[in-house]
Structure 1
Amino acid sequence: MLRVRPLVVTALLLAALTTAVAVLLRGDALGVPFLTGYAGCWVLFAAAVVALRRVPARAVVSLVLAGAVAVTATGLVAAPRTSTDSYRYAWDGRVQAAGISPYDHTPEDPALARLRDGWLFPDPAACAHGRDLAPLAGGGCTRINRPAVHTIYPPVAEGWFLLVHALSPADTRHKALQTGAALLSLAVTGLLVTVLRRRGDPRQAAYWAWCPAVPVEAVDNAHVDVLAVLFSVAALAVVARSRVTGGILLGFAIAAKLLPAVLLPGALSGVRRPRTFLAVVVPAVAVVGLLYLPYVLLSDGSVLGYLGGYAQEEGYDDAAAGGRYALLRLVLPDAWAPPAVLLVMTAVTLTVWWRGDPERPWRGALLTTGTAFLLLTPGYSWYALLLVAVVALDGRWEWLGIALAGAVAYLAAPVIGVEGVTGAYGAAALMAGGGWWARRTRRKGHHPAAGRRDGVEVAGVRDSTG
């Protein structure tokens, strides 16, 4: 007979989490600031995951999947709350459906005025009173952020925008994008459960399935990162068995959001032979190139869009700007931060590549991804969706603090300043380092021969002879 008490406790915590996220997204119904409410959701999430550890094994998968459906569905209860990126997605889909390259024109370009739908470009009378509306150079306004710049999204993302446009009714495409993102999120959960049932503990899938970042960032805000996450998880799941297939899937992930390129060292964990190395890298690069090719042929301008301007706007080319490189700037002059990132990431990449576990590529992928976040201290919380998924694969929950730090940086930076962002990421770094130290100490205490049996582990990367 099943142990009822842990199952009931976990189910009640999941119900509380689902309710809290739904209330949060409906508009601070209890008068609680968004970040405070979001932090409360993370507390409930942590409690539910801890309670799950005591649930009998035969009930785990059903509970994880049921919780995933409930938590994910909360992202559909409201229009996008903290980001307007999905409106750009809808516009890019509209432009492509008209047979025009999304890279050739900005949203405010008069040449595309005939494509302007009323829900994306409100009546001028509403511009003075609408929330999150950007002014247009020729008058009027739009829900699209940065209407004066070209799109930044890679070809797989653009293909997704076109698909959603083709399948969705007019004037409801933000809901269609949310629905599509919810389905992608659930697909990630299903893939994680499948992989972890064979290779690890299916309880780990809850780190993604129940994480508040999924309904908020992946579903409500409909960020296309979730599409990249799906391809990334698939790539890491198969690359140890099929290098070429893993490389192809990783290429699709990179062509969806670029950020998954940081997973490449993990996919190459323990690879010593040049032939095996090329079996991953060449397909990944080829896929990205082939997917860009139709847009290159269709476009009159650059398919990189606003990528360079975005990097400059976010302060990645100037360590003195914003909250980027916040932790490095505590110990280094501002000008030294960018080269320090390059140096540290090169060292971590080589360590993962040479000493990583080829049977667990997600372990090295988590180290490179987490390190990159701590060095760059990005100001956008949805980037951490990739990190959350890799945490679910590897089980090292201590890295999840980075996702919460990103939310603090995004939602509260104007109030807390650079010092607050530094503190948030500093706490996340301490959490990650403390978790590694605790695991290392516990392993040495309980398994004194582990070093001889399993190899040398450096920050979660195991020495491999394969």
Structure 2
Amino acid sequence: MADRLPQIYTWTGLFILTGAVLGMVHIPRQQDFYVLLAFYIPAFAAYIWLYRQAAEDHLLFYLAAAVIIRLLLLPAIPNLSDDIYRFIWDGRLINAGLNPFDHLPGYYLEEGHRVPGLTADLFARLNSPEYFTIYPPVAQAVFATASWLFPHSITGATLVIRAVLIAAEAGTLIFLPRVLQGWGMSPKRALLYAFNPLVIVEISGNLHFEGVMVLMFVAGLRWLQIGRINTAALAMAGAVAAKLVPLMFFPLFIRRLYAAGRWPVVFRFFGICGAALLVFFTPLLNGVFFRNIGQSLGLYFHQFEFNAGLYYIARWIGYQVAGYNQIAWIGPRLAILSAGFILLLAALERGKDWKSLPEIAMWSLLAYLACGTTIHPWYTIMLLFLSLFTRWRFPVVWTGLIMLTYIHYLNGAFKENYWVIGIEYGGVLVAILIEIFGRPRRALQR
């Protein structure tokens, strides 16, 4: 009986995690916070339990189980996010031969500009119809493919997008243990990503393209690890073309590329990467692309506010001094502050090997998130991924606490709960301080 106990515990943990994840994706809507929390708490507890008791020699079983959990989400329609409707809107525009960056959605409801499939009903479901789209070319290609395969079916197009993201996640779980092993780390750490309920729900459930970004980035790391510079450059370009976030890490590459082969290697890597990005973006480039996407991205620094850290402190000070919200002044300066911090890190850090890259990239991303005016739960996925190659585990804590931000949508009326934000950031800060000054348990560091 004793020999069977670990097996029983494993199946129990997997059953709880699977049931809770399925519940989160199928039952609560965005405003049903307490229902969501009732599923997320056992899911997160099962996640930690599964990782702590998992045996490394059964890693393939656990990774396969993680993929199966994601596959069980295939038929779901996202309840916690309405981004899917913008995905389909953009995809239908592309299939009509139109550039989704050219006009605001309302333009296509005007007489003379109608496009098949872009109906008033679909328009009513868009969460930001007054803003230009912000999705890069890899995401747009997936939207177009899904809408081409299912031109009249939201459910069918959703299934295609989810299948792509689950395939990306499966690819990540193939590359991740290999990168960890290549740097002499336990491949078991991959389970901290594989079973994380936030990762599962936000990528395979809510269809955020962090899944493709992480796949491209981990593939790039693997190819850098084994010296395939050209292939790595293509992968890193793919990561940027999926989500723009990895651009902030490029200054950290220069010293390591130089160590690998002096300036010719530096120029070769960035030359290939730049050429690939040009190929990715060329179908979308025209006279208004940079203006319109820049306008939407600018809203993240001048207008949008959600679950911010340092910004809310600065905003409060601004209210005391000036008596009104100074986001238009504070937001860009915090962005400059985070960019300056990242460039300073790149200049001062002395790492020349690729093994040291994820840790310095993690701190760079943390600075960016700390200074951001809008921090959605899925923004922490890349932070969690980078932490797997380090001794730091506070991103695990953040992925647990940041789901509390769904309370802001409680009962369908958006209103931020600053007590919850304080608990979230306070908990992350305490976790960081414990890891720096205390004696954290090593169970999650193996």
TM-score by length of 1: 0.77
Question: In the aligned structure 2, how far is the partner of 1:266 from the partner of 1:36?
Answer: 41
Question: In the aligned structure 2, how far is the partner of 1:11 from the partner of 1:441?
Answer: 25
Structure 1: runs of 5 or more not aligned: 123-132, 134-140, 443-459, 461-466
Out of 235, 238, 254, which is 2:240 matched to?
A: 254
Residue 244 of structure 1: aligned partner = 230
Question: In the aligned structure 1, how far is the partner of 2:307 from the partner of 2:423?
Answer: 11
Displacement of 1:258 in angstroms is 0.4
Is residue 335–residue 368 contact of structure 2 (8 Å, CA) maintained in 1? no
Is residue 260–residue 386 contact of structure 1 (8 Å, CA) maintained in 2? no
Question: In the aligned structure 1, how far is the partner of 2:100 from the partner of 2:275?
Answer: 22
Question: In the aligned structure 1, how far is the partner of 2:19 from the partner of 2:26?
Answer: 11
Displacement of 1:177 in angstroms is 1.6
Question: In the aligned structure 1, how far is the partner of 2:5 from the partner of 2:315?
Answer: 49
Q: 1:115 aligned to 2:116?
A: yes
Residue 164 of structure 1: aligned partner = 146
Structure 1 residues 328 and 342, CA, compared in 2 at 3 Å: closer, same or farther? farther
Q: 1:34 aligned to 2:42?
A: no
Is residue 181–residue 224 contact of structure 1 (8 Å, CA) maintained in 2? yes
Q: 1:350 aligned to 2:366?
A: no
Structure 1 residues 384 and 117, CA, compared in 2 at 3 Å: closer, same or farther? same
Is residue 155–residue 295 contact of structure 1 (8 Å, CA) maintained in 2? yes
Is residue 328–residue 375 contact of structure 1 (8 Å, CA) maintained in 2? no
Residue 171 of structure 2: aligned partner = 187
Q: 1:90 aligned to 2:88?
A: yes
Is residue 387–residue 403 contact of structure 1 (8 Å, CA) maintained in 2? no
Question: What pairs with 1:274-353 in structure 2 (closer than 5 Å)?
Answer: 274-296=263-285, 299-303=286-290, 305-312=292-299, 314=300, 316-317=301-302, 323-326=307-310, 329=313, 335=330, 337-352=334-349
Question: In the aligned structure 1, how far is the partner of 2:113 from the partner of 2:40?
Answer: 39
Structure 1 residues 280 and 439, CA, compared in 2 at 3 Å: closer, same or farther? farther
Residue 327 of structure 2: aligned partner = none
Structure 1 residues 269 and 165, CA, compared in 2 at 3 Å: closer, same or farther? farther
Structure 2: runs of 5 or more not aligned: 319-329
- Which amino acid in structure 1 is aligned with residue 61 of structure 2? S
Displacement of 1:332 in angstroms is 10
Displacement of 1:80 in angstroms is 0.6
Cα-Cα RMSD: 3.4
Question: What pairs with 1:315-464 in structure 2 (closer than 5 Å)?
Answer: 316-317=301-302, 323-326=307-310, 329=313, 335=330, 337-352=334-349, 354-355=350-351, 357-376=353-372, 378-394=374-390, 396-409=392-405, 411-412=407-408, 414-437=414-437
Structure 1 residues 436 and 356, CA, compared in 2 at 3 Å: closer, same or farther? farther
Residue 64 of structure 2: aligned partner = 65
> Whose helix proportion is higher, 1 or 2?
2
Identity across the alignment (%) = 20
Is residue 149–residue 157 contact of structure 2 (8 Å, CA) maintained in 1? no
Question: What pairs with 1:132-171 in structure 2 (closer than 5 Å)?
Answer: 141-168=123-150, 170-171=152-153
Question: In the aligned structure 1, how far is the partner of 2:6 from the partner of 2:249?
Answer: 36
Q: How many residues align?
A: 414
Residue 130 of structure 1: aligned partner = none
Question: In the aligned structure 1, how far is the partner of 2:129 from the partner of 2:374?
Answer: 22
Out of 47, 50, 60, which is 1:48 matched to?
A: 50
1:175-197 Cα distance to aligned partner (Å, 9 max, x none): 22222222222221122133334
Structure 1 residues 332 and 116, CA, compared in 2 at 3 Å: closer, same or farther? closer
Question: In the aligned structure 1, how far is the partner of 2:255 from the partner of 2:396?
Answer: 22
Structure 1 residues 36 and 304, CA, compared in 2 at 3 Å: closer, same or farther? farther
Structure 1 residues 231 and 338, CA, compared in 2 at 3 Å: closer, same or farther? closer
- Which amino acid in structure 2 is aligned with residue 40 of structure 1? P
Structure 1 residues 441 and 386, CA, compared in 2 at 3 Å: closer, same or farther? closer
Displacement of 1:427 in angstroms is 1.6
Question: What pairs with 1:209-220 in structure 2 (closer than 5 Å)?
Answer: 209-220=194-205
Structure 1 residues 418 and 169, CA, compared in 2 at 3 Å: closer, same or farther? same
Residue 106 of structure 1: aligned partner = 104
TM-score by length of 2: 0.80
SS in 2 for 1:282: helix
Structure 1 residues 327 and 149, CA, compared in 2 at 3 Å: closer, same or farther? closer
Displacement of 1:351 in angstroms is 3.9
Q: 1:229 aligned to 2:225?
A: no
- Which amino acid in structure 2 is aligned with residue 243 of structure 1? I
1:276-300 Cα distance to aligned partner (Å, 9 max, x none): 433433332332233222321xx45
Question: In the aligned structure 2, how far is the partner of 1:436 from the partner of 1:302?
Answer: 45
